[in-house]
Amino acid sequence: MVQDNVDLEDLEGIGPKTAQLLKSKGILSVRHLALFNPEELIELTDMTPDRVEKILRSARDIVFGSNRVSRATDIAKSFEGITRLRTNVRAIDELLQGGLEPKAIYEFAGEFGTGKTQLCHQLSVTVQLSQDKGGVGGAAVYLDTEEAFSPGRIINIAQRFDLDPNETLDNIYVIKVINAADLEDRIKFDVVKLVEQANARLIVVDSIIALYRAEFKGRERLAERQQRLNYILDWLMRIAKLYNVYVVLTNQVLDVPMGYIEIKRPAGGNVLAHAVTHRLFLRKSKEDVKVMEVLDSPRLPFKASAMFRITDKGIEDV
């Protein structure tokens, strides 16, 4: 991976003037530059395609290495050694085989009141815990598209885990997002900056679909909506893989007719289904009990579930 002392000007094809241009556009590091594809960088800087290809190839070689072939045995060992981020809810962490894994996208879908946002708040606190307590000692970035972030809930959860409430709030960077284009810009620039400079280890988008459903209305704009949604999901995965961070999305549900009944399915269609790594469905059960169920995952057992409840201290075991 890239060394910390490698500057933009150290790359082949980048001099002081080009480095300043990139920085003026919000690209502050070689690692950040390596996230971009040629079309994006051309649109951003108006540089020629040949020059952009040369610069990006140099950035990728420094960040990822020129030889990126791995044996499957090495990949298997890397999974054994990953640090998981726990919710500190025993049933949920067992369902997730020890907690959330980095370099992956988790989708929590469900109706209103099933605990999606509460779970995001709790993870924004537990990510700050030390590793022996289930955290990774990092900060959180919370992209709030529905005005759902609650400092009061964070304070209650922080007190539960014996953390200083003010310090806990200071380590959560809340970004209020205006529209879909704003969400894309904030992820491509602000989020990356916080990951690089503020030790942000958790990225939360609550919720991923709300802005796209509101802006791209009607069947005639469905293809455009899905294309834009796919684009931002791709960026989140780029960031997750390059920076070894945890990514969590919340999602709304739709009623889908199935014969004489309607069943609830996550919104976003096939684009969202294919882009996320682990899909988890949250639903209400008896009394105040909620259920989290595995909807789709390459590593978690299909339809496996965990029960939990929401209290004034956050998400807890039943």
The sheet carrying 200-206 orders its strands as 172-176, 139-144, 200-206, 246-251, 104-110, 278-284, 289-296, 305-311, 314-317
The answer to whether residue 2 is domain-embedded is no
Q: What is the mean pLDDT of residues 297-312?
A: 95
The answer to whether residue 69 is domain-embedded is no
pTM of the model as a whole:
0.94
φ and ψ at 164, to 5 degrees?
-70, 120
φ and ψ at 89, to 5 degrees?
-110, 110
Q: Residue 124: pLDDT above 70?
A: yes
What is the sign, positive or negative, of the torsion defined by CA atoms of 126, 130, 136, 138?
positive
**How does pLDDT run across 271-301, given as a tens digit for each residue?**
999 999 999 999 999 888 999 999 999 999 9
Mean residue pLDDT of the chain comes to 93
Q: What local confidence, expressed as pLDDT, does residue 89 receive?
A: 98
**118 and 266 both lie in a single domain:** yes
Q: What local confidence, expressed as pLDDT, does residue 117 receive?
A: 96
Q: What local confidence, expressed as pLDDT, does residue 4 receive?
A: 57
**How does pLDDT run across 193-202, given as a tens digit for each residue?**
999 999 999 9
Which domain range does residue 310 map to? 79-317
The answer to whether residue 229 is domain-embedded is yes
Give yes or no for a contact between 98 and 84, defined as CB atoms under 8 angstroms apart: yes
**117 and 44 both lie in a single domain:** no
**Structural domain tally of the chain?**
2
**225 and 303 both lie in a single domain:** yes
**117 and 46 both lie in a single domain:** no
**54 and 156 both lie in a single domain:** no
Q: Residue 5: pLDDT above 90?
A: no
The pLDDT > 70 percentage for the chain reads 98
Q: What local confidence, expressed as pLDDT, does residue 126 receive?
A: 98
Full DSSP string of the chain = ---TT--GGGSTT--HHHHHHHHHTT--SHHHHTT--HHHHHHHH---HHHHHHHHHHHHHHHH-S-----HHHHHHHHHTPPPBP-S-HHHHHHTTSSBPSSEEEEEEE-TTSSHHHHHHHHHHHTTS-GGGT--S-EEEEEESSS---HHHHHHHHHHTT--HHHHHHTEEEEE--SHHHHHHIIIIIIHHHHHHS-EEEEEEE-SSHHHHHHS-SGGGHHHHHHHHHHHHHHHHHHHHHHT-EEEEEE-EEEEEETTEEEEEETTHHHHHHH-SEEEEEEE-STTEEEEEEEE-SSSPTT-EEEEEEETTEEEE-
The answer to whether residue 241 is domain-embedded is yes
Q: What local confidence, expressed as pLDDT, does residue 286 receive?
A: 86
Distance CA 96, CA 99 (A): 5
Q: Residue 2: pLDDT above 60?
A: no
**30 and 153 both lie in a single domain:** no
Please list, in sequence order, all residues whose beta carbon lies within 8 angstroms of the beta carbon of residue 116, skipping any fewer than 6 positions away: 108, 109, 110, 206, 207, 250, 251, 282
Give yes or no for a contact between 279 and 105, defined as CB atoms under 8 angstroms apart: no
**253 and 137 both lie in a single domain:** yes
Distance CA 10, CA 47 (A): 18
**Cα angle: 98, vertex 101, 104; to 5 degrees:** 150
CATH code for position 253: 3.40.50.300
Q: What local confidence, expressed as pLDDT, does residue 217 receive?
A: 85
State the pLDDT confidence band at 79, using cuts at 50, 70 and 90: confident
Instruction: Say how many Å lie between the first and final Cα of the chain, rounded.
Output: 43
Instruction: Give the burial class of 264: count Cβ atoms within 10 A of its Cβ; 0-12 exposed, 13-18 middle, 19 or more buried.
Output: middle
Distance CA 34, CA 48 (A): 17
The answer to whether residue 73 is domain-embedded is no
Distance CA 205, CA 83 (A): 21
The answer to whether residue 74 is domain-embedded is no
Q: What local confidence, expressed as pLDDT, does residue 80 receive?
A: 81
Q: What local confidence, expressed as pLDDT, does residue 140 receive?
A: 98
**55 and 125 both lie in a single domain:** no
**105 and 252 both lie in a single domain:** yes
**51 and 181 both lie in a single domain:** no
**26 and 158 both lie in a single domain:** no
The pLDDT > 90 percentage for the chain reads 77
CATH code for position 56: 1.10.150.20
**165 and 286 both lie in a single domain:** yes
State the pLDDT confidence band at 3, using cuts at 50, 70 and 90: low
